[in-house]
A = this chain, B = another copy of it.
Amino acid sequence: MSLNPTVDSLLATADAGIDADRARLAEGFARVRARTLALAEPLSPEDQCVQSMPDASPTKWHLAHTSWFFETVVLMPHQPGYEAFEPRWQTLFNSYYESLGPRHPRPQRGLLTRPLLASVHRYRAHVEAAVDHLVARCDDATWAAVQPLVELGVQHEEQHQELILTDILHALSCNPLLPAYEASEPPAASGAAGTPPLHWITGPAGPVRVGHTGEGFAFDNESPRHTVWLQPYRIADRLVTCGEYAEFIADGGYRRASLWLSDGWAAVQSQQWHAPLYWIAPDDPRAALPQWQVYGLHGVKPLDPHAPVTQLSFYEAAAFAEWAGARLPTEAEWEAAYALPGLRQMTGHAWQWTRSAYDPYPGFRPWAGTVAEYNGKFMVGQMVLRGSSLATPPGHARSSYRNFFPPAARWQFSGLRLARDGAC
């Protein structure tokens, strides 16, 4: 069954050999838009409206903002006669684009009980129809301009799909009832085989090439491809597990200042951290059982010692590595090792904190136009994460992908992989 009639007709046309590119893009667009709605499906209107901290946004806001993006970046500049679905929403659903006018303050997104969810659904449908129409009918010159912008909008929406999950999980975690996002039980992630022993794999030393190769989509921050010089190093073949992290805790990890960066130790004390964000200690009044439990998308479960640890800040990842007599890999080391045989869990399990601050690549230039603010202006005060997580849309990330968060951020599916100086 096809996703919508416009795509149907486009695909039909494509069959006639006219424009397979347009058809592919339209299909990808339809697929990602439908997936976004599907992610919101288990949530009530209240769930979709709530905002639990300034860094996280309501689901409904994500639904609207991803539509605002197509409207503002694609439709208004390129579809003659297009009018904003509702002009006042231009302000409400702008995230951080200074060049695109005023914005509703980020910490107050949760106060937007109106527009109602149903109205946002209409907004989505309206934008989708207009994008479909533009993709199907625009002339070739317009297509040349529009095609990369629609592709960017699709990638952008995939980024927000991950945020929908991490943001709602944070909101639900603030509720003492600890409700599950999805009640159904997932297939066991770690299997009965337990945690395999960690193996070290030697990475390439000397000059290596990193950055986007130029094939397929990439964000501006992955370019230009360039040479870096690596000292000899080795990298762990798998992620750090919850079981290993529990040993760190049991060994006083959160009480030994010598393991921590200064800012990290300050956070431990002022925020009273004593475990990853969603871990529930055996003596927590919310814990039904006298053992470590972990809250997640499927509710509260007993800690799985074989599963990768997640919901860590950079500070915690770095402290664990220090405790383990190792360190975090740099982002170049991670990327250079990406395709080596034996490396596992590089994507799809947990974002992996690296020991690299989020600096621009040599020769980096932001995109031109309204999307110039996409990545470059955030290149200070953040750390790079590599890989992708169980919440990342399949196919979204790649070996050159640079995710980034402030070092104290804990509400993502962020974990770590160890590294060490010197070859094996």
Contacts and interface: CB of A to CB of B under 8 A. Distances in A.
A156 interface: no
Interface stretch (A7-15, A62-70, A221-229, A393-401): A221-229
A235 to B, nearest CB: 13
A51 to B, nearest CB: 9
A98 B231 CA distance: 32
A423 to B, nearest CB: 13
A258 B421 contact: no
Contact of A91 (B176, B233, B363, B377): B176
A80 to B, nearest CB: 27
A179 B114 contact: yes
A257 B50 contact: no
A64 to B, nearest CB: 13
A53 to B, nearest CB: 10
Contacts of A113: 44, 46-47, 49-50, 171-172, 175
Interface stretch (A183-191, A336-344, A352-360): A352-360
A242 B371 CA distance: 33
A383 B383 contact: no
Interface string A247-279: 000000000011011111100000000000000
Given A113-B46, A265-B98, A380-B261, A362 B175 contact: no
Interface string A105-145: 00010111111110000000000000000000000000000
A49 to B, nearest CB: 4
A82 interface: no
Contacts of A174: 108, 111
B363 A114 contact: no
B363 A421 contact: yes
A52 interface: yes
Contacts of A356: 359
Contacts of A228: 228-229
Given A111-B52, A380-B383, A92 B207 contact: no
A50 B104 contact: no
A231 to B, nearest CB: 4
B117 A46 contact: yes
A96 interface: yes
Interface string A367-401: 00000110001111101000000000000000000
A99 B372 CA distance: 46
Nearest to A47: B113
B357 A357 contact: yes
A176 B45 contact: no
A415 interface: no
Nearest to A48: B46
A99 B257 contact: yes
A314 interface: yes
B99 A380 contact: no
Contact of A231 (B116, B260, B362): B362
Which of A116, A177, A373 lies at the interface centre, i.e. has the most chain B CB atoms within 10 A of its CB?
A177
A357 B88 CA distance: 40
A202 to B, nearest CB: 15
Contact of A381 (B88, B372, B407, B421): B407
A36 to B, nearest CB: 19
Interface string A57-94: 00010000000000000000000000000001001100
10 contacts: A46-B46, A49-B49, A50-B110, A88-B177, A92-B177, A227-B231, A228-B228, A258-B372, A264-B380, A355-B360
Given A46-B46, A229-B229, 4 more contacts: A44-B45, A50-B50, A50-B113, A261-B378
